[in-house]
Structure 1
Amino acid sequence: MSQLDPAIAPTRSAESPADPQTGLRRSLKLRHIVFLGLAYMAPLAVFDTFGIVADITHGHVPLSYLLVLVAVLITALSYAKMVRFYPRAGSAYTYTREAINPHLGFLVGWAATLDYLLLPMINALLSSIYMTAAFPDVPAWVWIVSTIVVCTVLNLIGVRIAAKVNVILVGIQVVVAVAFVVFTVKNIVEGANGSAFSVAPFFSADLDVPAIASGAAILALSFLGFDAVSTLAEEAERPRRDIPRAILIIVGVAGLFFVSVTYVMQVLFPDVSAVGNIVGASPEIAKYIGGAAFQAVFIGGYMVAVLGCGITQQMSAARLLFAMGRDGALPRRFFGSLNRAGVPAANVLLIAALACTAVFLDLNKAASLINFGAFVAFIFVNLSVIFTYTRYVKERGWRKALGFVVLPVLGVAVNVALWFSLDTSAMVVGAVWVAIGLVYLLWRTRFFRAAPPALSGPAQFD
């Protein structure tokens, strides 16, 4: 057990059932949290970016996944540490606020909010893109609104119902993904497209390191689910045990899945331009390996992924806003309120309303912004571990230094490098978003003269 100063450890158990009028209800077990995280990442989302990243990296998508996996694994360990200290909703916002500075925590939360707010919009837009391809006579807005309505209703009913639905949805996605891999391997064994198993997707003579980093910066989007589950800490039955376990399980399973799937896809199509449609490469590959019937199954499975992803994305965004509202960083009456079911209903409806703007959204421009806030969050979660160690943990030694200093410093370095590999327009728009947050913060605190919300200190844990 880590040694903490008894004077700063609260006496109330962080795992006691929450009052529905003052906090979120604890109803999630480990399996619910894992499936919610996997649903948030949407296993089939690996197919969204394959064509684009294969083109950028010149046929090295699996290598880019391995690079970003290093950054995510280190950051996942930092999330696992921080959720033991602060088993509350809010994720990177809460960790930075409590461990470093409340004003800085607000800005980190503000940056992360950009991702959380945009993801449901992009998810709804993706549903229209895929379904319009199958049913061109149906207006795109019908699919957008239908997706948002279903996700909103399930979230308003309660987190446990949404979690149970996601168990089914993730299962369907896994079946479709396994079928895709089986068909792809069968084609490789038969020598289709002149393919043969090799290490070329991981290493070749024409390896372009900056291109691999650029590809990894895009692929970080695939791992956002492990971060999202940390926002459910107040709804987990045993948050200090189950949230860290869920984070590591999600990252490990997802990393293996993403690398494996993209490896066989890259082996079959080392030059993605041969597919014809780079952006929509995956549906074309599905048709190539299994015919029109399997392509229909693939698109159907993808729509299941969209639904599961939308439920969890909306859930996480609503809870991030709830945490900021409860702390007074945003207007408490609106953002910090719960309904009788213990759900931040006002936030859920606000996210739904914002997602409806997908009707006017350009997918390419919006998608380029997603990882800006993600890398900001990853960087400051790693920094929060270091600050927590220096401020609260009394125990010293090389093992503690490795886990609380060395690995987080490495995590900061890798995430900063990937952050600067993002598209320039994403960096500019992200910086503008943070600047807006800074202006709002200055106004709310009268140029930092107003006292920030009180820090509660970390919880004692076993």
Structure 2
Amino acid sequence: MSEVKLIRRLTGKELVVFGLSLMAPITIFTTFGIASEVTDSRVPLAYIFTALALSLTGYCYAQMVKAFPISGSAYTYVHRSVNSKVGFLVGWALLTSYALLPMVNYLVAGIFLHSIVPQIPYGFWIILLIVLNTFINIKGTKMASWVNTLLLTYSFLVVIIFSILSIRYVLLEEPVSSLLSVTPFLGAGFELTAIMAGASLLCFSYLGFDSITTLAEEVIEPEKTIPKAIYAIIGIGTFTFVVVSYLGTLVQPNYQKFTNLDSAAVELVTMVGGNLFVSFFLAGALIGCFASGLASQASASRVLYAMGRDNMLPKVFASLSPKYQTPVFNLLLIAAISLLSFVMTLTLATSFINFGALIAFLFVNISVIFYYFIKNKNRSLLSIFRYLFIPSLGSIFIIYLLFNLDTISIVFGIVWGALGVCYLIYLVKFKGMKQINLDFSEEV
């Protein structure tokens, strides 16, 4: 009987859809009010700073997928360039990001649907969404890609209509020249501390560009396709974030006039489109949650698959369905973890996600230095710039973000990391795990 393997069937366009779905561009509205306060209504500039900084990490992901075009993302890159044990700990941290992100989406969507139909408890909606997403992911990446394309199209339709209505709103009050203003970028002046604080908040809008690397073994020509997709996701996301935040700031340049910063987006949408567009917008927010949950569940299952294949987790995690060529056990496990949405708060789950994502970002930057600069000794002037300077600069920015995490994120990150260390000690002392002799081919 032939070995069951992941099948290469995803194209570059499908990867971009997958990454943007997990990013959920419509979530810009979620942070608009708070970001306006932090940056003193210079949100577009903060997004540009965020994009420039995270492009450094995106570049590092692109370099590592060229070297290792297989599943596992940050776990695989660190495992194979730095050390198997460090790789395990990075994978352990990464799991908190990917495994809990679906739960957050289900929780938000469940609360939203319950508010629309209060007769039906929000727990029913959570279970329904978990079952639907799990079914789609088990059927395979092609079906998931098709569903994500439909959902993402609706989300971008919301963004486009909002942009048109915002332009109309501004022109009813001001001349055409008012659409070309530097105020949303500079405000009363340039304050680096405020912009960096905003970038620290907004960097989490970009979580998702890295997720496509978890699908490397299901992509056609991943060494070429994935780097292009990473840059496209960051570029499209940044354009969307900057345009929407720019127009939003023109519509309401004074964040202090929002009744509630947490729900500023609803107030903004009401201003430009009235109650009818609010309903259309809220449906888009719900669809964004569903699409993000679908993509993040697929990503988490592939990280577990890679760790199981490398004997970092029990072999059952490396099993694939003979019929669908998908890691069904892992998908069902993520679905089970998502049931924690009945008892876990949004704040606690977000704390885990933020810590795990930033640890992964940091070590992907470091893995570029270890693999290209130290191990392969690429030390020409250009190589120093590409494999030492860029990842070092990216690492500095990520470290800055780590130090700016809230206390809850840091505490729970340390606790989760300590559990990972204990499990690693168990693997080394009782399972006899040593430095693994790694085969860099795809058939590992």
TM-score (norm 2): 0.93
Residue among 339, 347, 351 paired with 1:356: 339
Distance, in Å, in 2 between the alignment partners of 1:20 and 1:189 is 65
Paired position in structure 2 for 1:416: 399
Shift of 1:434: 0.9
Shift of 1:392: 4.6
Establish whether residue 228 from structure 1 lines up as the match of residue 227 from structure 2: no
Tell me which amino acid in the other structure corresponds to 2:427. R
Paired position in structure 1 for 2:201: 218
User: Given that residues 328 and 453 in structure 1 are in contact (C-alpha distance below 8 angstroms), is that contact kept between their aligned partners in structure 2?
Assistant: no
Establish whether residue 26 from structure 1 lines up as the match of residue 8 from structure 2: yes
Distance, in Å, in 1 between the alignment partners of 2:362 and 2:395 is 5
Distance, in Å, in 1 between the alignment partners of 2:197 and 2:125 is 32
Residue among 265, 271, 281 paired with 1:288: 271
Paired position in structure 2 for 1:402: 385
Paired position in structure 2 for 1:320: 303
Shift of 1:273: 4.0
Residue among 39, 42, 50 paired with 1:57: 39
Tell me which amino acid in the other structure corresponds to 1:451. K
Shift of 1:336: 1.2
SS of equivalent residue, structure 1 residue 245 = helix
SS of equivalent residue, structure 2 residue 253 = coil
Paired position in structure 2 for 1:153: 135
Q: Deviations over 1:201-236 (max 9, x none)?
A: 322347654443333223222111110000000000
Distance, in Å, in 2 between the alignment partners of 1:434 and 1:102 is 16
Shift of 1:177: 0.8
SS of equivalent residue, structure 1 residue 202 = helix
Q: Which runs of 5+ in 1 are unaligned?
A: 1-18
SS of equivalent residue, structure 1 residue 226 = coil
Establish whether residue 139 from structure 1 lines up as the match of residue 141 from structure 2: no
Q: How many equivalent pairs are there?
A: 438
Distance, in Å, in 2 between the alignment partners of 1:274 and 1:365 is 30
Establish whether residue 347 from structure 1 lines up as the match of residue 323 from structure 2: no
Paired position in structure 1 for 2:364: 381
Tell me which amino acid in the other structure corresponds to 1:307. F
Distance, in Å, in 2 between the alignment partners of 1:370 and 1:189 is 41
User: Given that residues 373 and 388 in structure 2 are in contact (C-alpha distance below 8 angstroms), is that contact kept between their aligned partners in structure 1?
Assistant: no
Establish whether residue 258 from structure 1 lines up as the match of residue 202 from structure 2: no
Alignment CA distance shift 1:284-1:365 (3 Å): farther
Tell me which amino acid in the other structure corresponds to 1:70. L
Alignment CA distance shift 1:442-1:211 (3 Å): farther
Alignment CA distance shift 1:92-1:220 (3 Å): same
Alignment CA distance shift 1:450-1:314 (3 Å): closer
Higher helix share: 2
Paired position in structure 2 for 1:89: 71
Paired position in structure 2 for 1:128: 110
TM-score (norm 1): 0.90
Distance, in Å, in 1 between the alignment partners of 2:255 and 2:343 is 29
Deviates more, 1:220-229 or 1:48-57: 48-57
Distance, in Å, in 2 between the alignment partners of 1:209 and 1:429 is 30
Distance, in Å, in 2 between the alignment partners of 1:240 and 1:20 is 26
RMSD: 2.1
User: Given that residues 373 and 383 in structure 2 are in contact (C-alpha distance below 8 angstroms), is that contact kept between their aligned partners in structure 1?
Assistant: no
Identity %: 38
Residue among 191, 198, 204 paired with 2:173: 191
Distance, in Å, in 2 between the alignment partners of 1:243 and 1:20 is 28
Distance, in Å, in 2 between the alignment partners of 1:118 and 1:77 is 26
Tell me which amino acid in the other structure corresponds to 1:279. D
Establish whether residue 425 from structure 1 lines up as the match of residue 408 from structure 2: yes
Q: Deviations over 1:26-84 (max 9, x none)?
A: 11111111111111111212112222222333322222212221221011111111001
Residue among 430, 433, 439 paired with 2:422: 439
Distance, in Å, in 2 between the alignment partners of 1:138 and 1:188 is 40
Tell me which amino acid in the other structure corresponds to 2:107. L
Q: Which runs of 5+ in 2 are unaligned?
A: none
Q: Deviations over 1:314-361 (max 9, x none)?
A: 1001111111111111111x2111112111111101111111221223
Alignment CA distance shift 1:448-1:72 (3 Å): farther
Paired position in structure 1 for 2:318: 336
Paired position in structure 2 for 1:174: 156
Tell me which amino acid in the other structure corresponds to 1:23. K
